[in-house]
Every structure is written in C-alpha cells, then in structure tokens.
Amino acid sequence: MKQGVFITFEGNDGAGKTTVCKAVEKRLSEMGYSVLYTREPGGSRIAEAIRQVLLDVENTEMDARTEALLYAASRRQHLVEVVLPALNANKIVLCDRFIDSSLAYQGYARQIGAPEIWDINQFAIDGHMPDKTLFLSVSVETGKKRMDLRGDKNRLDLEASAFHARVRKGYQTLCQDYPERITVIDAEADVQTVVDQSLQEILKVVHAYE
C-alpha cells in the first residue's frame, strides 16, 4: 500500500457523517486495518486555539474572509499534526469534513466564492487532497429532522433553511466538478445501508493501493 489512504466525509448538517464515519472505522479495524477517525481541530492544541477564536460569540466583527483564513489555518495545523503523521504510518485516515465543507459553506452558501476558498485552502493543504471523498446526500428536511433527533437546537427559521439549501446546492456543484474524487452516497437510507455502501467505496480505494 502507498503511504496511507486519505478519506473525507462530507454532507449537510445532520446527514450522518459522524455516525457513519465511526461505524466504518469500527468495521475497518475489525478487518485488521489500521484506521484513524478524526475531525478538525482533532486534538491539535494550536488548531483548537484557532477554533476558539472562530467560535467566540464576542467576535461579532469577524470579517468573512478572516473567518475563511482561520478555518484554512486550523485545517493546515490539524493536517500537519494529525493527518499526515497517520498517513505516514500507513493508516487509513477517515476525516469528518475537510476542504469541501469550506467550499460548500463559505464559498457557496456564504457566497465568498468557490475559487477564492479553493485558493486559500490549496495553500493550506499544499497538495494533500483526499484520495476519496464520500458525499452523504440527504435532503435539507432529512438533515433537519436528524439534527432535531440528536437534540440540537431547533433552527427551523426560513433563513437557516435557505442557508442549508445553498450548502446542499454547493455540494452538488462540487460533485459535478470533481466526479472522480467525490462519490455520492444516498444517505436517506438506513444507517446500516449507508455504512455498507461507504465501506465498499473505501475498500475500492484501499485495494487500488495495495
């Protein structure tokens, strides 16, 4: 196998990324693979500190481009400290959200522009694109229902709904633009089916490198 396999999971809020990612991690581990599940900031002290600035509700004057740069900076630090060492140790890395989240949320939904977000993220990741990205596709309504189920605050107002619709549309554009890298998984199905399909797609990539 080449140096590790880098898999990212993407999708709207409540699509099932974390649930599926963790189940896939378990299945791959049981099959004897060395796997790492991670998500930004992933326990990196510096990436965590950057995230605190992003999440601080006091930072109301945060400019949209500053926000985009901080996300990219946090991504860089997590990549260098967590993802790359695991890939160098020949692990399968399952990353819960990565560059496509910035493209969908900030590039498309916040309307900064996908090319702008792409450029700063390419600087941040310096060529380390995922080998495969799984887009867990659900309707905005399903995502909302699942967030409610999880007990998140109900944000059913129209603005939130329009935002999530733009996120979904952004992801769909990315799927068209990168058909080789991104595989669409129908995540409206039950958890077991989504996990099985995700696992199948990941194993195709893993076997290609063996």
Cβ atoms 192, 110 nearer than 8 A: no
Nearer to ligand ATP, 142 or 173 (CB): 142
Quick one: 18 or 139, whose CB is closer to Mg ion?
Answer: 18
Residue 109 touches which member of Mg ion, ligand ATP, none, C-beta under 5-8 Å by kind: none
Task: Say which entry of ligand ATP, Mg ion, none residue 30 contacts (CB below 5 to 8 A, set by partner kind).
Answer: none
**Token digits of residue 163:** 């935002």
User: What backbone torsions phi and psi does residue 69 show, to the nearest 5 degrees?
Assistant: -65, -40
Q: What mask of x and - would describe binding to Mg ion in positions 54 to 73, judged by CB under 5 A?
A: --------------------
Q: Cα angle at 168 between 18 and 203, to 5 degrees?
A: 45
For ligand ATP, give the closer residue by CB, 119 or 152: 152
Give yes or no for a contact between 103 and 181, defined as CB atoms under 8 angstroms apart. Answer: no
Which stretch, 14-22, 106-114, 116-124, 175-183, contacts Mg ion (CB under 5 A)?
14-22
Cβ-contact 81, 75 below 8 angstroms: no
Q: Which residue is listed with tokens 């901080």?
A: 70
**Which is nearer to ligand ATP, 61 or 192 (by Cβ)?**
192
* 176 CB neighbour count, 10 Å cutoff: 9
Least gap, CB of 19 to ligand ATP (angstroms): 3
Q: To which H or E segment does residue 129 belong?
A: none
18 binds Mg ion (CB under 5 A): yes
**Binding residues for Mg ion (CB under 5 A):** 17-18
**Binding residues for ligand ATP (CB under 6 A):** 11, 13-19, 146, 149-150, 187, 190-191, 194
